[in-house]
Chain A
Amino acid sequence: MENNRPLKLLIVDDEPAIVDFTQKIYSRKGFTTFGATDGITGVEVFKKERPSVTLIDVHMPYSPIDGVETLRRIKEIDKEAVCIMVTRITEKDKVEQSKQLGASAYLLKPFEIGDLDKAISEVAGINL
């Protein structure tokens, strides 16, 4: 954890169960967690809480803005923001756009908890 303070993790995904269970799992691992089920709320939470790591689902049909636009707005607020993009293997163009915007890592859906642990450990420099 960062300077003995819990790391903050924000999860932005339009599937509420994914937000809910990711928050529950990482709260148990010592993170302070936040969730948003659309990109606009995600950007607002980011602005207020300044999480150490933000997990953003690229494909959010139920959100007014998609994951790439969410990333773009977060990077406007803080260009050093650490963001992991959750994509599907079929979304190569979105991966390319996210890379150009400065995403820190990518995770393919469907994923298992070990995959997410690994991605967060790598970008946050911790051991989960």
Chain B
Amino acid sequence: MANPLPNEKEIYEQIKSEGITVDSGIWDLIYHHVGDDITAINLLCAYYLSRKEPIPVKEAEKILVYTRDIRDIIKKITMSSSQDFPFPEFKNNIPLNPIIRDMFTHYIGNDVHSINFIVCDTIDPIEPKPLSEEIVHKILSRTGSIKEFMERLRQATSP
């Protein structure tokens, strides 16, 4: 999982003491996009683990599509201005508090980056290899970490 921020405990205390919240519509957007993407990656990995087979390169490329979608939604959610925010109904709830933006980019950003790095490194076009069981477990550890982070932050920031 992404390394915890050194001041993580203090950040959660600050969220609580300052009453920093994230609108439920924004959480809905996040859970809709990231939830589907994480579930799809989990199922893809589970299928090949159940077959005791590595994930073929073509299938592994799908993981990169899902991580791109996660990255895109996090990029939008963490915009520093609502001017270009593509979901007009939630424009008033953007930008998020800088602390929350930093947490999204740190935790989800790092986990997504790690998944991308692991997959891209393995299916590198020069010498593409399928994803071994060990790599698949690493990917699942990262998706689990994203899920845990989302739930913890959602609870901390729900009014």
Contact = CB atoms under 8 A, between A and B. Distances in A.
Interface string A93-109: 00000000000000001
Contact of A88 (B35, B37, B40, B44): B35
A49 interface: no
Nearest to B36: A15
Interface in B18-34: 24, 27-28, 31-32, 34
B47 A90 contact: no
B40 A89 contact: no
Given A25-B47, A28-B50, A90 B40 contact: no
A112 B42 contact: yes
A112 B46 CA distance: 8
A110 B46 contact: no
A59 B32 contact: yes
B47 A111 contact: no
A58 B51 CA distance: 29
A24 B36 CA distance: 17
Contact of A25 (B24, B27, B36, B43): B43
A76 interface: no
A28 B28 contact: no
Interface string B132-159: 0000000010011011000100100000
B50 A17 contact: no
B62 interface: yes
A117 B136 CA distance: 19
A124 B113 CA distance: 39
A91 interface: yes
A89 B151 contact: yes
A24 B151 CA distance: 29
Contacts of B140: 112
Interface string A32-63: 00000000000000000000000000010100
* 10 smallest beta-carbon distances between A and B, as pairs: A110-B38, A21-B43, A113-B46, A109-B35, A88-B31, A17-B40, A90-B28, A110-B35, A110-B39, A15-B36
Given A17-B66, A110-B34, A113-B46, 17 more contacts: A18-B36, A18-B39, A21-B44, A25-B50, A61-B32, A88-B31, A89-B151, A89-B154, A90-B24, A90-B154, A109-B31, A109-B35, A110-B143, A111-B39, A112-B140, A112-B144, A113-B42
